[in-house]
Homo-oligomer: A and B are copies of this chain.
Amino acid sequence: MAKKNDLVIRAAKGEQVERTPVWLMRQAGRVLPEYREVRAKMGGFKQLVETPEFACEVTIQPVDILGVDAAIIFSDILVIPEAMGLPYQMIEAKGPWFEKTIKTVDDIAKLKIAEPEDLHYVMDAIKLTKKELNGRVPLIGFAGAPWTIFSYMIEGSGSKTFSKAKKFLYTQPELAHVLLQKITDSTINYLKGQIAAGADMLQLFDSWAGVLSPAQYDEFALKYISQICDAVSEVPFTVFAKDAHFARKKMGQLSCDTIGLDWTMDIAESRALIGSNKTLQGNMDPCLLYSDFETIKKETKKMLNQFGAHRHIANLGHGLYPDLEVDKVKCFIDTIQEFRF
């Protein structure tokens, strides 16, 4: 058995680490030619997500090729609305699309609370990946945060303003809460299932956090994130709410271990707002990886120094962009792994 690398787990718990660990959002993805090969063979993104052998294969690719300190199960946040009764398609170069969206109280009543068995293919992929990883690095499970999932269920696709979803919050707040609670209950079941299947850590992604006002974010997003953090306490838990700069102080009060930062969030300011009891994850601008090797090294070291030696898990402030070069991505990772305070 390979030597166990548990740096990410220890950093999340606030324990001493020999060096800062690193993994990357979307590390299993189009940036790797090996991923594109498997995906071409499978015919599409959803087939990949739904076939445990292939999900396992692409989950492990970045561990082998990039040498990251954690794997994250290859899946999609939209498996939850699907398991609740709203199927979706992933349209090439366009993104997700739901034929049916939520409009009325009846639409919400018809949704089921998802159970782990509704998402058996994710559980199987986690089990298989854990076996194949053989303890090399921790395996991260994940889900979308309720507000982001809600947005997709109302909008039916991505959006610049998410004005349909926000209109729903303003015009039918009670009904919004009913739907958000159903999503939350489904998400808790789902994440508990992921732990049972072997996930060593969990992350919640609130991709559309940044379109809400601070007051709406408290009422319609943080409230449910808080429920999830409280209900799922068996493994280290990370919350990443992109663009929710206004919520950092309150996120410091969540019962989670790690808060993800995007690159617009100043590191020292975020530490002051969030407090010293949380590990911070992030937060390099993915576009840095377009620059030359020297600039990547310089900026990466600057970031490491700003975060300091403890309570930091290095990552980007967003997912990898598909057109980044693997060598540049590797340079970012190597710089972090070779750095010593």
Contacts of A214 in B (CB 8 A): 264, 266
Contacts of A169 in B (CB 8 A): 287
Binds B, one of A12-20, A24-32, A33-41, A160-168: A160-168
User: Known: A246-B245, A285-B166, A321-B163. Contact between A171 and B264, CB under 8 A?
Assistant: no
Assess whether B170 is in contact with A210, with CB atoms less than 8 Å apart. Answer: no
Cβ-neighbour of A290 out of B170, B292, B321 (below 8 A): B170
Q: How far is the CB of A324 from chain B (nearest CB, A)?
A: 9
User: Known: A213-B285, A264-B210. Contact between A290 and B246, CB under 8 A?
Assistant: no
Assess whether B210 is in contact with A292, with CB atoms less than 8 Å apart. Answer: no
Q: How far is the CB of A308 from chain B (nearest CB, A)?
A: 18
Interface size on A, residues (CB 8 A): 30
User: Known: A285-B213, A321-B163. Contact between A265 and B246, CB under 8 A?
Assistant: yes
Q: How far is the CB of A91 from chain B (nearest CB, A)?
A: 15
Cβ-neighbour of A170 out of B170, B266, B291 (below 8 A): B291
Assess whether B321 is in contact with A161, with CB atoms less than 8 Å apart. Answer: yes
A45 CB-CB contact with B under 8 Å: no
Q: How far is the CB of A332 from chain B (nearest CB, A)?
A: 13
Q: How far is the CA of A198 from the CA of B288 in the complex (A)?
A: 43
* 30 residue pairs bridging A and B, Cβ less than 8 Å apart: A161-B287, A163-B286, A163-B287, A163-B321, A166-B285, A166-B287, A166-B290, A167-B290, A169-B287, A170-B287, A170-B288, A170-B290, A170-B291, A170-B295, A171-B290, A171-B291, A210-B243, A210-B264, A212-B264, A213-B263, A213-B264, A214-B266, A216-B285, A243-B243, A243-B264, A245-B245, A245-B246, A245-B264, A246-B264, A246-B265
- Contacts A212-B264, A243-B243 aside, 19 further interface pairs with beta carbons under 8 A come to A161-B287, A163-B287, A163-B290, A166-B285, A166-B290, A167-B291, A170-B287, A170-B288, A170-B295, A171-B290, A171-B292, A213-B285, A214-B264, A214-B266, A216-B285, A243-B264, A245-B245, A245-B264, A246-B269
Q: Which 10 pairs of residues, A with B, have the shortest CB-CB distance? A: A170-B291, A166-B287, A167-B290, A245-B245, A213-B263, A213-B285, A214-B266, A170-B290, A171-B291, A246-B264
Residues on A facing B (Cβ under 8 Å): 161, 163, 166-167, 169-171, 210, 212-214, 216, 243, 245-246, 263-266, 269, 285-288, 290-292, 295, 321, 323
